[in-house]
């Protein structure tokens, strides 16, 4: 979730009083960075992945799996033995929202050579092993996007009762505050989002209607007026930030050669977000029920929705400044490159003063409106010790707003006084069960950036269509059942010139024929006469590159997984989990996931992840090969 500031957190009322201060200085900090590095060129292509993990404990007697609330201690030990002892340590560990979560990245970013694609999986395996070696007996590090019984009675170890009382961080009926990371940033975020909003967050996920699911499906909360009002029939009701930010994902960050290349990549990858999200779907279960969605996105979005009733358009504007159409966690609202400008068809709320100030400072309209849009938000946390900063050398206030705008893509200016370049982060993917799958998705996306840059591809479509794709992508089995807007001719845009996009500016409105509805199979694998397919494009790129045999073999295995998930020959994790539960002897076709079913599922997930159980319907036969070739350098297995 970003870097931590240490210290004493302020209440929402106090933070709010400093909101203008934070914004004003955040902009000054951004401008210092911008002016210092806007012309920086020839940074080399670098990239890195982030994997989020959950700590799971198995009680084999009671047949119960629980989330272990020891992320903070585990993190401390990992950092102590790792990065603090050796600056070249191959892994880096960071905290995450849940006290049962942890995030791992490679110790150094990857570079531009092809052979590095062959080290990704090894590094992920190292991370898994390193953290697993510190766990207690019968505990496992799991890469699951959402824990099926999150928020059910006794889902944590040790067990805690939720305490929906005044003064608590979440006030949740289901999610105890003890399950939130103990660093004050996380509980403060939770509390301040709730206070700013003026009520608890509301998450309603449609329930999957199975043969014996009650019709209508209604949960009653006689003791809790807020829940009784907020919960909807035929939906699974949730009421805490933890139900969203307590989920795990897989992210990739790229360093571009220049700011304009970063802006170009940001736009191009934004169109890919819904496609890859649907392909990575891995979260069908919430609060012990089978849902009708396959992805976490909308759940997290609702879980951090700090907008007031006025901002949400439920009441006339009186105390709030703007109507705001989306949560802080949502899809991007504007393209950043000149080529993207004519596809910017979403109403953009922006801070007008900041926008004017940025224009006066020499920023172009697109970048100015992007930043002025991020800055319509209030800071959610502020630490007493961190109010007055040196704007020329620090960027905490900028980062405060930036890092709590959780969008599909993130455009990242370099930190002050560093040799890091302009970066973009790709954020929509769900985390997969195995290091093999996670490597496959990461390598697929990184390769895609290579062909986008080498062939100057153009995926842009009106941004409102990307938003429609995002909605569709979360539906159950979207990968096979839904159609997505996609650009038909990705090579002939004529506007895919990285620096300047000269030709694009004067062109007419986008023609409706530029894009069409396609299946993910068509987008990924191509269809004669309709669309070339992303994998065929990647393959022709690979043929033009010098790649050693071993690396090529790994890449082919990765692309085969993506290809088969797109065609339906292999299942997504979400589909596989659904089938596992559907076939479970205890399942009563009533959409309920019991402790025992949760236990069997997680045990199976762990066995698949550690290689003790094969799962060809999910991974295909390629898995075996990839695992063996990967384990060569893994001397200790
Ligand atoms: N866990 C969040 C997700 O699933 C992301 C948190 C972060 O930005 O690191 O999207
Ligand atoms: Mg994270």
Length of the chain: 637
Alpha carbons 61 and 297: distance in angstroms, whole number? 35
Q: State the pLDDT at residue 621.
A: 80
- Helix 435-454 and helix 534-543, axial crossing angle in degrees, nearest 10: 80
Domain presence at residue 542:
yes
- Write the pLDDT tens digit of every residue in 315-324: 999 999 999 9
Closest C-alpha among 611, 605, 624 to residue 557 = 624
In eight-state DSSP terms, residue 64 is E
- For 345-371, what is each residue's pLDDT tens digit? 999 999 999 999 999 999 999 999 999
Residue 477: closest CA among 409, 562, 579: 579
How many domains in the chain?
Answer: 1
Ligand nearest to the CA of 50: 2
Q: Which ligand has its closest atom nearest to the C-alpha of 243?
A: 1
> Is a pLDDT exceeding 80 seen at residue 625?
no
Q: Which atom of ligand 1 lies nearest, measured to the CA of 145?
A: 4
Task: Give the mutation target among 146, 147, 251, 432 for probing the ligand 1 site: most ligand atoms within 8 A of CB.
Answer: 251
Q: Is the pLDDT of residue 53 over 50?
A: yes
Q: Which of 146, 247, 273 to mutate for ligand 1's pocket (most ligand atoms within 8 Å of CB)?
A: 247
Range of the domain at 458: 435-636
> What are phi and psi for residue 115, nearest 5 degrees?
-65, -20
Q: pLDDT at position 578, please?
A: 98
Ligand in closest contact with the CA of 104: 2
Residue 492 has pLDDT above 70, yes or no: no
Nearest protein CA to atom 9 of ligand 1, as residue: 1
Q: Is residue 274 part of a domain?
A: no
Does an H or E element contain 58, and which? strand 46-59
d(CA 101, CA 181): 8
Angle at CA of residue 622, ends 616 and 625, nearest 5°: 120
CA of 216 to the centre of ligand 1 (A): 33
Q: How far is the CA of 557 from the centre of ligand 2 (A)?
A: 27
Task: Look up residue 178 and give its DSSP letter.
Answer: G
Per-residue buried b or exposed e for 291-313, using 16+ beta carbons within 10 Å of the residue's own CB:
bbbbbbbbbbbbbbbbbbebbee
Residue-level pLDDT at 1: 53
- Residue 449 maps to a domain: yes
What pLDDT is attached to residue 86? Answer: 96
Alpha helices in 250-385 (DSSP H): 259-279, 297-303, 352-360, 365-374
* Residue identifier of the C-alpha nearest atom 7 of ligand 1: 1
CA of 406 to the centre of ligand 1 (A): 8
Greater confidence (624 vs 385) lies with: 385
Of all atoms in ligand 1, which is nearest to the CA of residue 431? 4
Rounded to the nearest whole angstrom, what is the distance from the C-alpha of residue 97 to the centroid of ligand 2? 8
Question: Rounded distance, CA 436 to CA 627, Å?
Answer: 7
Tell me whether residue 286 is in a domain.
no
Cβ neighbours of residue 8 closer than 8 Å, sequence gap 6 or more: 184, 383, 384, 385
Query: Would you place residue 45 in the very low, low, confident or very high pLDDT band (cuts 50, 70, 90)?
Result: confident
Return the pLDDT at 503: 45
506: pLDDT strictly greater than 60: no
Query: Directed axis angle between helix 573-582 and helix 595-609, to 10°?
Result: 140
Asked whether the beta carbons of 141 and 132 are under 8 A apart, the reply is yes
- Name the region of 214 (left: φ>0; alpha: ψ -120 to 50; beta: rest): beta
pLDDT band at 630 (very low <50, low <70, confident <90, very high): very low
Signed CA dihedral, 190, 196, 198, 202: sign only: negative
Cβ(251)–Cβ(429) below 8 Å: yes
- Between the CA of 455 and the centroid of ligand 1 the distance, in Å, is 31
Q: Is residue 446 part of a domain?
A: yes
Ligand nearest to the CA of 103: 2
- Cα of 186 vs centre of ligand 1, distance in Å, is 13
What DSSP state is assigned to residue 252?
E
Q: Residues 6 or more apart from 456 whose CB is under 8 A from it?
A: 496, 497, 498
Q: Which two tokens stand for residue 185?
A: 């940033």
Per-residue confidence (pLDDT) for residue 76, from 0 to 100: 98
* Rounded distance from Cα 249 to ligand 1 centre (Å): 6
In a domain, 149, yes or no: no
Is pLDDT at 628 greater than 50 in this prediction? no
Domain annotation covers residue 295:
no
From first CA to last CA, the distance across the chain in angstroms is: 32
For residue 336, pLDDT over 60 is answered with yes
Pocket lined around ligand 1, Cβ cut-off 6 Å: 1, 52, 245, 247-249, 296, 300, 406
| Residue 609 and residue 576 in contact, taking contact as beta carbons nearer than 8 Å | no
Q: What is the 3 state secondary structure string of 551-602? A: HHHHHHHHHHHHHHHHHCCCCCHHHHHHHHHHCCCCCCCCCECCHHHHHHHH
| Residues whose CB is less than 8 angstroms from the CB of residue 115 and which lie 6 or more positions away in sequence, other chains included | 547, 548, 551
Over the range 315-350, which residues count as b (16 or more CB within 10 Å of their CB) and which as e? eeeeeeeeebbbbbbbbbbbbbbbbbbbbbbbebbb
Determine the Cα–Cα distance for residues 377 and 398; give it in Å rounded to an integer.
12
Is pLDDT at 501 greater than 50 in this prediction? Answer: no
């Amino acid at each position: 979730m970003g870097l931590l500031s240490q210290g004493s957190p302020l209440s929402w009322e106090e933070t709010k009083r400093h909101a203008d201060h934070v914004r004003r200085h955040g902009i000054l900090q951004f401008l210092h960075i911008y002016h210092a590095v806007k012309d920086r060129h020839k940074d080399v292509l670098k990239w890195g992945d982030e994997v989020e993990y959950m700590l799971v404990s198995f009680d084999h007697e009671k047949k119960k799996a629980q989330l272990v609330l020891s992320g903070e201690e585990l993190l401390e030990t990992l950092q102590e033995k790792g990065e603090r002892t050796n600056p070249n340590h191959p892994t880096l560990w960071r905290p995450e929202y849940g006290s049962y979560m942890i995030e791992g990245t490679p110790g150094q970013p990857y570079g531009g050579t092809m052979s590095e694609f062959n080290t990704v999986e090894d590094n992920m395996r190292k991370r898994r092993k390193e953290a697993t070696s510190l766990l207690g007996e019968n505990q496992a590090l799991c890469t699951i996007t959402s824990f099926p019984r999150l928020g059910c009675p006794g889902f944590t170890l040790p067990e805690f009762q939720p305490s929906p009382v005044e003064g608590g961080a979440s006030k949740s009926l289901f999610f105890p505050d003890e399950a939130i990371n103990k660093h004050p940033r996380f509980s403060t975020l939770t509390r301040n989002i709730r206070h700013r909003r003026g009520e608890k967050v509301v998450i309603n996920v449609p329930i999957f209607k199975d043969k014996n699911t009650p019709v209508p499906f209604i949960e009653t909360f006689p003791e809790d007026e807020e829940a009784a009002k907020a919960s909807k029939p035929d939906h699974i009701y949730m009421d805490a930030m933890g139900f969203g930010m307590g989920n795990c994902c897989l992210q990739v960050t790229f360093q571009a050669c220049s700011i304009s290349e970063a802006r170009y990549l940001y736009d191009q990858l934004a169109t890919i977000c819904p496609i890859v999200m649907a392909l990575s779907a891995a979260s069908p279960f919430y609060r012990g029920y089978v849902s009708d969605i396959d992805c976490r996105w909308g759940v997290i979005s609702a879980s951090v929705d700090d907008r007031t009733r006025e901002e949400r358009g439920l009441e006339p504007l009186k105390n709030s400044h703007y109507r705001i159409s989306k949560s802080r966690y949502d899809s991007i609202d504007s393209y950043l490159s000149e080529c993207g400008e004519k596809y910017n068809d979403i109403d953009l709320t922006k801070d007008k003063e900041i926008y004017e100030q940025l224009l006066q400072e020499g920023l172009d309209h697109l970048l100015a409106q992007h930043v002025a849009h991020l800055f319509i938000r209030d800071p959610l946390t502020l630490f007493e010790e961190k109010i007055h900063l040196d704007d020329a050398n620090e960027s905490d206030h900028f980062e405060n707003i930036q890092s709590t705008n959780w969008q599909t893509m993130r455009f990242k200016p370099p930190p002050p006084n560093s040799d890091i370049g302009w970066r973009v982060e790709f954020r929509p993917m769900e985390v997969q069960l195995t290091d093999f799958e996670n490597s496959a998705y990461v390598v697929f996306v990184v390769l895609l950036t290579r062909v986008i840059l080498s062939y100057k591809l153009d995926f842009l479509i009106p941004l409102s269509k990307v938003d429609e794709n995002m909605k569709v992508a979360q539906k159950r089995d979207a990968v096979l059942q839904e159609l997505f807007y996609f650009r038909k001719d990705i090579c002939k845009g004529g506007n895919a010139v990285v620096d300047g996009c000269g030709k694009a500016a004067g062109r007419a409105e986008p023609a409706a024929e530029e894009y069409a509805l396609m299946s993910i199979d068509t987008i990924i694998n191509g269809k004669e006469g309709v669309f070339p397919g992303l994998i065929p494009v990647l393959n022709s790129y690979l043929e033009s590159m010098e790649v050693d045999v071993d690396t090529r073999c790994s890449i082919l295995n990765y692309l085969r997984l993506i290809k088969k998930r797109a065609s339906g020959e292999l299942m997504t994790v979400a589909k596989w989990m659904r089938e596992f539960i559907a076939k479970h002897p205890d399942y009563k076709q009533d959409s309920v996931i019991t402790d025992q079913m949760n236990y069997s599922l997680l045990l199976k997930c762990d066995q698949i992840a550690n290689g003790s159980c094969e799962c060809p319907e999910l991974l295909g036969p390629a898995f075996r090969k990839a695992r063996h070739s990967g384990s060569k350098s893994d001397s200790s297995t």
